[in-house]
Structure formats: C-alpha cells, structure tokens
Structure 1
Amino acid sequence: MEGNTIWIIDDDMVSQFAMVYKIEQSYPNNRVVGFYTVEEALTMIKECAETQNGLPNIILLDLVLPEMNGWHFLSELGKLRGHINSVDIYIVSAFSNKTDRKLAKEHPMVRDYFEKPINKGSVDKIFKRGKKE
C-alpha cells in the first residue's frame, strides 16, 4: 500500500518520531503528518472533510492526550462520519488496560489497538489490513 497519508495524533514527540521512523523504514512512499493535540487534528480533518481533499487514509491515535483525549476525538469524528468513511483508525497507546482494549475492539470506527512502542509487525499489520481487497 503506497502513497497514503497517515496522521499520528500523539502528544509525545518521542512516540511520534518512533512511529514515523517505523513507517518510513518499511513504507517510504507515504506521507506522515503529526499532530500533538486532538483539537489540532479535529480542525484539520473538518477542513479536509469539507473540501474532500487531504483526508488521511490512516490515523494512529493515542488515547492519553491533554485537554481532549482520544475517545473525545472519536466522538467528534463520529459527527463527520458520513464525510470520512474511508479513514482507518488505529489506537496506539502506552497505557493499555482491559477497558480501553474492549472499548476499542467494540468501537465501530477503530480497526485495531496496538501498544507503544509500535513495532514493525504492528506497522505491517496496519498496512496489510488497509489494502483494498
């Protein structure tokens, strides 16, 4: 899967760097954009949804963020769902617990849940799953 736009929403610069590195190592022909807050990402995705231009193919979402967390992001995104049906969302969190895993597994917009630090196997799984079948 080449030529995708991947958004990383994570307030930790080191985690973002590690995810970008893992993606670019195995899938170099993709565009990776980082956001440090949910508000930043929501503003951008609303603009993209209005114009139907620049929408990400994949979002890697941390759950623990300042102000608004990952669950708030998903809630707000649900309001735009008709405009962004093709976006695959993956939770990537360092603070995994049974409740979050269960919620992620049951959430209709979340494709999967991965623990930080993300590894090559997780990245491969994301890109294989995202292939058009």
Structure 2
Amino acid sequence: MRPFVLVIDDDMVSQFATKYVVSQCAQDALIYMCDNGEDALLELSQLLNSGEGFPDVIFLDLVMPGMGGWEFIEEFQKIPGLPKKTKIYILSAFTSSKDRNKAKNNSYIAGFFDKPITRNIVNSIFPSCML
C-alpha cells in the first residue's frame, strides 16, 4: 500500500529534508506539502470532498506564521467525516516540556520528534517500507 504523507511546515529546508527522508524510506510515498495550517486544512477538505484519499501520516511543525500547529490540530479535530487512520507526528526545532506533555495528552498525536527527522524515525513509522 502506497503511504500518503502530508508535511505542514513553513520552512522550505525542513520541508525538503522531511520529503527527502520519507522518499528514501518509502520510495512510492505520495507526499503533499503545505506552508501553514490554513493551507493544510483547505487541502484536507479538498481531498475529503474529492474522494482522492486522506493522509496516513501528517508531519506537523508547531511554530508557523498564521495558524500554528496547535491551532491546526484544534481545527483538524473538527473536520466532518475525519478518517480515524491518520496519525500526526509533531516535528519541532523548539522543544519544550510543555509542548511534549500537551502532545502526549492528545489522542490525535502519535509522536513528537526533533527536527530534522531521521531515517530511523521514518522507518519506525512505516516499518513495511524499511530498505
């Protein structure tokens, strides 16, 4: 099965690094990129309405202009008909114990990782894609 990944990050270097590592581990992955939470919600809405599928995994930055990661998660939880299979992984360059605890207590968040994401982390998320 082809993994479907959405990367939400305002930093182009982080986007590139995440896309690169995911594509190295899951070569057939379908990877969408969004620069902020607003664009990501719009993209997700269009995907749901079109029936094209929905991401298996969302890699989410917390600190972005406009709608940040926590605000995205609040709105994400309100999406009607939200598939339960989607797992959100926080990728952050700024780690705080407050954010980590908040992530642990949110059922939509499957993990919290420091940037940049590593191949080992991606392999643990997509074990069937290990090379």
Which deviates more, 103-112 or 73-82?
Answer: 73-82
1:17 aligns to 2:16 (yes or no):
yes
Q: State the identity %.
A: 37
CA contact (8 A) 2:3 2:26 kept: no
| CA offsets 1:55-74 (integer angstroms, 9 cap, x no match) | 11110000001011000000
**What does 1:53-68 align with in structure 2 at a 5 Å threshold?**
53-68=52-67
Alpha carbons of structure 1 residues 93 and 81: separation in structure 2 relative to 1, 3 Å: farther
- Cα distance in structure 2, aligned partners of 1:47 and 1:69: 20
User: Any stretches of 5+ residues in structure 2 without a counterpart?
Assistant: none
- Partners of 1:36 and 1:60 lie apart in 2 by 12
Over aligned residue pairs, what C-alpha RMSD do you find?
Answer: 1.5
2:117 equivalent to 1:118: yes
**Superposition TM-score, scaled by structure 1 size:** 0.89
**Would the aligned equivalents of 2:60 and 2:69 in 1 still touch at CA under 8 Å?**
yes
CA contact (8 A) 1:49 1:84 kept: no
The runs of at least 4 consecutive aligned structure 1 residues that moved more than 4 Å come to none
Which letter maps to 1:90?
Answer: Y
1:127 matched to which residue of 2?
Answer: 126
Q: Structure 1: which 5+ residue stretches go unaligned?
A: none
- TM-score (structure 2 length as normaliser): 0.91
Q: Number of residue pairs matched?
A: 128
Question: Within the alignment, does 1:92 sit opposite 2:94 as a pair?
Answer: no
Q: Give the deviation of 1:82 after TM superposition.
A: 4.0
Amino acid at match of 1:26: C
Deviation at 1:51, TM superposition (A): 3.9
